[in-house]
Structure 1
Amino acid sequence: MKKIYLKIKSRNIKAFTLLEMLLVLLVISVLLILIIPNIAKQSEHVQATGCEAQQKMVNSQIEAYTLKNNRKPDSVDDLVTQGYLKEGQKKCKSGESITIKNGEASIS
């Protein structure tokens, strides 16, 4: 049996040094530190805007209920039982409940 040996003629292997790798990690870390708080603020804004949009949708369903029944609903449960809303639409994603006061939807 013959053994095969590989000989490396030149030692000019191109690679990253440890210092370069640490520098790249530092830059990525700084970018993440700057970006993450902004993402959290945007998430809160999206939740608040979504709840306002859901309140407007419930107000539209109140109008539809009023046109059909000639009276405003007493509670959100009236809209659910009549099929104007689904059970999951009584609350916002943020956990706030939608109630009906004086014939209009409000967030509580």
Structure 2
Amino acid sequence: MIKILKNEKAFTLIEMMIVLLVISVLLFITIPNVTKQSNNINSKGCEAFIHMVEGQIEAYKIDNNKAPQNMKTLVDEDYLKGTSCPNGGEVTIDGSGNVTVSSS
């Protein structure tokens, strides 16, 4: 005699496929949004870095009674650790202390 089990506690193949479908749809929705936000974050990071460089220029002026000649001066004297933005643009200083970013 064949014993029939009732009240089995398992997922059917169709239930598993539905769960995988829902997860896939959620991934297709979220991944493009994450990449868009990544670009936004990098541009905000670059703006923040420019403001920090401007502040370090003022600190250099206070300490040395003159403006730094270039970014290398700020890096060599430990006012900054690097010269590039998070988005890859290179930050430069002109003779009057204005900060500019070259696009990557």
- State the TM-score bracket (shorter-chain normalisation): 0.7 to 0.9
Pair 1:30-2:25 in alignment = yes
Give unmatched runs, 5+ long, in structure 2: none
Farther off after superposition, 11-20 or 26-35: 11-20
Identical pairs, percent:
49
Structure 1 residue ranges, 4+ long, deviating more than 3 angstroms after superposition:
none
Letter in 2 for 1:94: N
Bigger CA radius of gyration: 1
Q: How many residues align?
A: 99
Q: C-alpha displacement at 1:84, in angstroms?
A: 1.2
Matched residues in 2 for 1:67 and 1:104: separation?
16
1:1-108 equivalences in 2 (<5 Å): 10-12=4-6, 13-86=8-81, 89-101=82-94, 102-108=96-102
Q: RMSD across aligned C-alpha pairs, in angstroms?
A: 1.6
Q: C-alpha displacement at 1:23, in angstroms?
A: 0.8
TM-score relative to the length of structure 2 = 0.85
Give unmatched runs, 5+ long, in structure 1: 1-7
Describe the superposition over 1:46-97 as per-residue Cα deviations: whole angstroms up to 9, x where unpaired: 11111110111010010111122222111001111222112xx211222211
Is the contact between residue 62 and residue 104 of structure 1 (CA under 8 Å) also seen in structure 2?
Answer: no
